[in-house]
Amino acid sequence: EVQLVESGGGLVKPGESLRLSCAASGFNFRSYSMNWVRQAPGKGLEWVSSITTSGSLVYYADSVKGRFTISRDNTENSLYLQMNSLRAEDTAVYYCARVSGQWVPVNWGQGTLVIVSS
């Protein structure tokens, strides 16, 4: 069974940093590209970032480009999202997702909540 477990969320002040992790199990992690998707309170889903199987290619939404960095460790079956210069509008539940061949999320974690507030 595919399992994705996010961690690392919490309450931070504007301008601070946070690193999210996603532990994957139940599938061959190194064979799948991965996404981060977020959902602000009461809002819809927003794609944040994608990474290819080897980590050689990464993609970002304009809203986080230059501030967030996606990475992965295939030896640890883990996905990461380093979030710097956080803003109030980054407040959201962050989900990691295993994607299909065309980047559409297929399996989701339960999410981790990030609150950016002074």
Is 31 a binding residue for other proteins by CB under 8 A? The answer is no
- The SS3 assignment for 88 reads helix
Piece of the chain touching other proteins by CB under 8 A; list 13-21, 31-39, 71-79, 81-89: 31-39
* Residue 45 CA: distances (Å) to CA of 25, 48, 77, 83: 24, 9, 25, 18
Q: Which is nearer to other proteins, 105 or 116 (CB)?
A: 105
Q: Residues in the site for other proteins, rule: CB under 8 A?
A: 33, 35, 37, 44-47, 50-52, 57-59, 61, 95, 100-111
